[in-house]
Structures are given as C-alpha cells and as structure tokens.
A and B are shown apart, each in its own frame.
Chain A
Amino acid sequence: MTATTSAGPTGGEKIAQRVPHKRGTDRAQAERRLGLKLAAPAAILMLLVTAYPIGYAVYLSLFRYDLRVPGENEFIGLSNYALVLSSGIFWQGVLATTIITVVSVAIELVIGLAFALVMHRAIFGRRTVRTSILIPYGIITVIAAFAFRFAVSPDTGFLPGDPNPLGSQFGSFATIIITEVWKTTPFMSLLLLAGLATVPEELQEAAKVDGATAWQRLWKVTLPNMKGAILVALLFRTLDAFRIFDTVYVQTAGANDTQTLSGLGYNALITRVNLGLGSAISVLLFLFIIVIAFVFVKGFKTNLGTVKGGD
C-alpha cells in the first residue's frame, strides 16, 4: 500500500520491505508531503547541476562558438554536427571507443565470473580476498594508468627485452585494455558475486546427484540462474567503459589511433576551446550512451520475460 510497494518504471521492482504499513488517508497525505519535502533538495540540486549544463551544451552545439575568435559567434544550426559526422577522426574515435569497450568488458566478464566463483566458494581467506579485490577499485584511475605505463615502458619497465608496446597500435590498445580490465574487473566480479549468492544451493546439489560435472553445473545451473545479475553488470560496465578518458590520456594521449570520444570532446572543448564543435561531439557521445542503455534495457525485458516463464 504505502511505502512498501513502489513499482519501478518497468514494474519489476520487488523490494524486500520491513516498513510498517498501516496508515490512514490523512497520514498518507502527510507522508506524501514529508516525502516530497525531504526529496526536494536532492532533486533540485541534481537538476541544477545536470539538466542545465546539458541543455546549455545542446544550445552551444548549434553555434559557431570558438573562444579564440570571440567576435564570430553565430547560430549555424546543425553545421557542427554535419562537420563532426563527416569527419574521419570522429569515426576513428567511435571505432577506438568501441574496441576498448567491447574487448575490455568481454574479458572482464570472464575474469570477473571466475573471481566471483572463487570468492563465493573460498573459505580460507575470505576477508582477505574481498578486501584485496577492492584495492583496484579504490585506486585512482590515473595512478593505475601510470602504473601500467611504467610497467611496459622500456626505460622504467620490467618486460624482458625492453619492448615498447606503447609505440605500436596493437600494444597501445592492449595496454589500455589491460589497465581498464585490472581496474574494473573487481566491480564486475562483486556484482556477479551478488548474483551468484542468489542461485539456490539446492539446484546445485540436485544437479550433482544427477551426475552433472562441475563444468555442466556452471553452464546449465549457475549461469542461467544469474542472467539478471550478468546483464546488470554488463550494462554498468559498458556504459562506464564507453566514456573512458583517464587511461588513454595518461598512456597514449590519443596516439596510435587510440583517441576515444571523451578524449576528442576534451580536446575540442578545453585544448582548442572550440565550444560549439566540442559540444556537438559531447552531445553525440551522450546519444550513443542513451542508445546503448536503451538496447540493454530492451534486452532485460525480453530476458526477464523468459526467466519468468521458466519459473
């Protein structure tokens, strides 16, 4: 009735609630008012610091607005977008961002799942392992990027034979992806661990009794029962990886075709202070993110449908 049943946008929210729920209409109304009052500051502050700049970015993207030639600001409609979308550099950025995102998220899923299985089963050193896996999460991304840059650079590194991976295209992508994977797999594995915890132990036992091998149990019992958690983890990490900036900035500064969309936006906006063009790039990046999120949420719906049918 009251606070206990707030349906999510997809209606799929079932919160484990222990909140008392016996309130009259007067109380319900007072509760609504109090709720709004308490939530208002956060809501207003979020709107101020987000909606306004986003709106302003869209506005700027429709203008010639270059701080180096301040006198020539004028409305030019979608010309900035036309310029960006017809530029090879932009599509190279899309490609680089996509490669980094897809490869690192795929690797993270595999390693993250393995880590989650270990953390789920490990008895010895459970606390140690969960604490140490939080270390990459807690380390500043820039620092992690430096750590890996130093590790592979010939003058500071420990690679035998002193190769220079950051000098080549493949090596640059590989280094960036390895850094991303190292830094963010822990988060992925914690989300997956949370999903693992919900797979009923009885199912595992039953499969064992039926003679299923550990590998079969993983594929036929564990994974299908944690589809939801896998999708959530993939969604978060994909959206996060797609806006990658820090690692690339520190390790290659965009050299060897590794420049990502965030990097292109930053260069146009801050390095070249071309706010019109830069805003067009960042609005486009924003649209990409929305499309990715939309595709995932679609996937959720169909997926949850089948899961429910299977119950």
Chain B
Amino acid sequence: MTAATIGAEQLGARTEPSQGKTTKGASRQSGSGAIWKIGTAVIVLYALFPVLWIASLSLKPAADVGDGKLIPANPTLENYQDIFTSGEFVRPLINSIGISLITTLIAVVVAAFAAYAIARLDFPGKTLLLSGALAIAMFPPVSIIGPLFNIWRATGLYDTWPGLILPYMTFALPLAIWTLAAFFREIPWDLEQAAQVDGATPYQAFRKVILPLALPGVFASAIIVFIFCWNDFLFAISLTSTEAARTVPAATAFFTASSNFINPTGQIAAAAIVVTVPIIIMVLIFQRRIVAGLTAGAVKG
C-alpha cells in the first residue's frame, strides 16, 4: 500500500489543479442529486462495514462469537479487559507506538531538508534523488529481510527497536520526501521576502509566515509515514522474536497460537479496535491534507 502513496511526477500524469481546489466544479451539478446521495451512502457503508463487524465481535462474550449477529446480544467489555491485563497486547502496543513515532520523527526531519532542497533549490542529482526514492518505495520488502535477518543476528539488532526502525526508514524516507516536496512546492515562498521587506527579521519571517503554511503539510506527511510503520507486518514478524520489539500486527497474528487466549477472536477484535480508533481520529482531523498528500505527485505532473 504505502509505497504506492507516492506520486509519479516524472511519469507525467496530465493533471493540474491541486486536490483542495476541486470542489468548485461539483457544486454546479446540484441537479441530479439522488444518485450521488445513494453513491455517497454506499461508499460510507463500504468503508465502515468491516469495522462495525469487528467492533461487534469485540463486544461479544466468547459464547456469543458464533451467533452471526451484527448487534451483540450481551455486550461486554471483557475482551478489552483481557487484552489490557495480559501484557501480550500492552507491550506490543508500546512497541508499535514507540517504533512508529521514532521512525516518523527521524524520517520527516531528514526528509524535510531534502524536500526543501527539491522544492526550492537547483542542484545536480535532484531528479535522480526523486526517481531513486520512488524506485525504492516500490521494491518488495521480502527482498531485504534475508540479509537483514542475518546481519541483525550478528550485530545484536535482532529483536530490538532499532532493528525495526532502520528497515522502516527504507520506505518511510521516500514516502516522506515525496509528500513533503509536494507540499513545499505549494508554499508561496515569496511571502517570506515580502515579510522581510515589511521589516520582519529572517527568523520572524520564517516563524510567522512560512512555518504556519508548512506545518499542516508536515503533519499530513508524518501521518502518512506513521500509518506505513503502524501497518508493517513482514519486517515485524521476520526481525523480532519476543515481546521486546514485537509490534501489534505481529502480536495479533500470534494471539492465535497463544495459550492464554483459547478462542482469541474476541481479543483480536478488541485489539483491532484499539489500534484502529487513533488512526480514524487522525484521519478525521487531517482528512483534506492526507488526501492531498496521498495523491501528491500524481496531481501535479
């Protein structure tokens, strides 16, 4: 999924206006409303149905899991209590949050410098950097787990946080570079000079003018990178073996084999809801920017 979130500017999609400005055309079309209203309802249902199903399972006591009803007959929070008291979920949750946040922070900071250079400066190797990043984002992660497995075991990085953060960088950096560069290109940098002409110091001009314009894009890029790390499964099951670094997706897959959870369906469902809700909240807040970031490259061309 993730890698694909990068645009393909050099592939030349013939497109121009940016995502945020597309709303004008539609408002003229208010005539044939009904069909689009139905369509809207269908999309919302499509997106939510599996989530509702999982939420329903997570609220069912073990005995009711097989009843096939969407609305739990005897709703209970015991699945949530189970996962939060067992440690089998709490520790992976901490790992997931920590590893994803650290990766996101490093990737966004390092990528911000590169993206600024790409958006504003002329330097040799610029297109090589962009197309190289795109190529890296496209390659299959399974191609590097073998070597990493071997090196990590030899160097002690196996089953540690850095052992996951490093490979996540591989994909997080290209993602961050592409989305940030796309956002930075949209910033009217002339305003910085205008502010200085009006008597602002360079620092003031940056802090009061450029930073507020850049921050939403940086946040959106950070969320996109975070979702990538949060989602990873292959690296997480290949390069960890214990709770020291195992993340939620990997831990959830191994609930099945665990002896604590005899019939882990309810617990898996509860864990699923716990890790999904924060993402939905972030998506709610930054919806417009995330859409813009995801389609960044493809929109310009």
At the interface with chain A, which of B44-52, B74-82, B199-207?
A: B44-52
Given A45-B173, A124-B36, does the pair A133, B43 have CB atoms closer than 8 Å?
yes
Of all chain A residues, which has the CB nearest B248?
Answer: A140
Given A141-B1, A147-B53, does the pair A269, B142 have CB atoms closer than 8 Å?
yes
Given A121-B29, A195-B15, A282-B140, does the pair A275, B149 have CB atoms closer than 8 Å?
yes
Whether A138 and B276, one on each chain, are in contact in the complex, defined by CB atoms closer than 8 angstroms, is yes
Contact size range, B? 35 or more
Is B120 an interface position by the 8 A CB rule? yes
**Bound complex: CA of A113 vs CA of B287, how far in Å?**
20
Of all chain B residues, which has the CB nearest A125?
Answer: B40
User: Per a CB cutoff under 8 Å, which of A35, A262, A278 touches B234?
Assistant: A262
Chain A residues closer than 8 Å to B227, beta-carbon distance: 137-138
* Smallest beta-carbon distance A65→chain B, Å: 8
Chain A residues closer than 8 Å to B283, beta-carbon distance: 131, 134-135, 138
User: Per a CB cutoff under 8 Å, which of B1, B3, B17, B51 touches A198?
Assistant: B17
Is A155 an interface position by the 8 A CB rule? yes
Residues 208-224 of chain A: 1 if any B CB is under 8 Å from the residue's CB, otherwise 0?
00000000000000000
User: Per a CB cutoff under 8 Å, which of B11, B30, B237 touches A270?
Assistant: B237
Given A34-B117, A115-B43, A134-B283, does the pair A237, B65 have CB atoms closer than 8 Å?
no
Is A95 an interface position by the 8 A CB rule? no
Whether A235 and B11, one on each chain, are in contact in the complex, defined by CB atoms closer than 8 angstroms, is yes
At the interface with chain B, which of A48-56, A81-89, A163-171?
A: A48-56
Q: Which of A232-284 contact B (CB under 8 A)?
A: 232-233, 235-237, 239-240, 242-243, 245-246, 249-250, 261-262, 265-266, 269-270, 273, 275, 278-279, 282-283
Q: Which of B245-260 contact A (CB under 8 A)?
A: 248-249, 252-253
Chain A residues closer than 8 Å to B272, beta-carbon distance: 140, 143, 146-147
Chain A residues closer than 8 Å to B127, beta-carbon distance: 6-9, 13
Is B208 an interface position by the 8 A CB rule? no
Whether A46 and B146, one on each chain, are in contact in the complex, defined by CB atoms closer than 8 angstroms, is no
Is B111 an interface position by the 8 A CB rule? yes
Whether B147 and A20, one on each chain, are in contact in the complex, defined by CB atoms closer than 8 angstroms, is no
Residues 46-78 of chain B: 1 if any A CB is under 8 Å from the residue's CB, otherwise 0?
111011011001000000011011100000000
Chain A residues closer than 8 Å to B14, beta-carbon distance: 198, 227-229, 304, 307
* Smallest beta-carbon distance B135→chain A, Å: 8
Chain B residues closer than 8 Å to A26, beta-carbon distance: none
Chain B residues closer than 8 Å to A147, beta-carbon distance: 50-51, 53-54, 272
User: Per a CB cutoff under 8 Å, which of A140, A269, A300 touches B12?
Assistant: A300
Is A128 an interface position by the 8 A CB rule? yes
Chain A residues closer than 8 Å to B29, beta-carbon distance: 121, 123
Whether A270 and B150, one on each chain, are in contact in the complex, defined by CB atoms closer than 8 angstroms, is no
Whether B119 and A49, one on each chain, are in contact in the complex, defined by CB atoms closer than 8 angstroms, is no
Chain B residues closer than 8 Å to A126, beta-carbon distance: 23, 26
* Smallest beta-carbon distance A193→chain B, Å: 7
Whether B148 and A53, one on each chain, are in contact in the complex, defined by CB atoms closer than 8 angstroms, is yes
Is B155 an interface position by the 8 A CB rule? no
**Bound complex: CA of A289 vs CA of B174, how far in Å?**
17
Of all chain A residues, which has the CB nearest B131?
Answer: A9
Residues 142-184 of chain B: 1 if any A CB is under 8 Å from the residue's CB, otherwise 0?
1111111111000000000000001101100110010000000
Chain B residues closer than 8 Å to A190, beta-carbon distance: 291, 294-295
Chain B residues closer than 8 Å to A134, beta-carbon distance: 283, 287, 290-291
Chain B residues closer than 8 Å to A13, beta-carbon distance: 9-10, 12, 127, 301
Whether A140 and B276, one on each chain, are in contact in the complex, defined by CB atoms closer than 8 angstroms, is yes
* Smallest beta-carbon distance A114→chain B, Å: 7
B residues near A, CB below 8 A? 1-17, 19, 22-23, 25-30, 33, 36-37, 39-40, 42-44, 46-48, 50-51, 53-54, 57, 65-66, 68-70, 110-111, 113-114, 116-127, 129-133, 135-136, 138-151, 166-167, 169-170, 173-174, 177, 185, 188-190, 193, 227, 230-231, 233-234, 237-238, 248-249, 252-253, 265, 268-269, 272, 275-276, 279-280, 282-284, 287-288, 290-291, 294-295, 298-301
- Can you name 30 A-B pairs with beta carbons within 8 Å? A6-B127, A8-B10, A14-B301, A15-B300, A20-B189, A31-B121, A31-B122, A38-B114, A42-B129, A43-B132, A45-B110, A45-B173, A49-B169, A53-B147, A120-B25, A123-B36, A128-B40, A139-B276, A140-B230, A143-B249, A156-B57, A195-B298, A198-B15, A228-B12, A229-B14, A235-B11, A236-B6, A237-B4, A249-B253, A275-B149
A residues near B, CB below 8 A? 1-3, 6-10, 12-20, 28, 31-36, 38-39, 41-43, 45-46, 49-50, 52-54, 56-57, 60, 114-115, 117-144, 146-148, 150-151, 155-159, 182-184, 186-187, 190-191, 193-195, 197-198, 201, 227-229, 231-233, 235-237, 239-240, 242-243, 245-246, 249-250, 261-262, 265-266, 269-270, 273, 275, 278-279, 282-283, 285-286, 289, 293, 297, 300, 304, 307
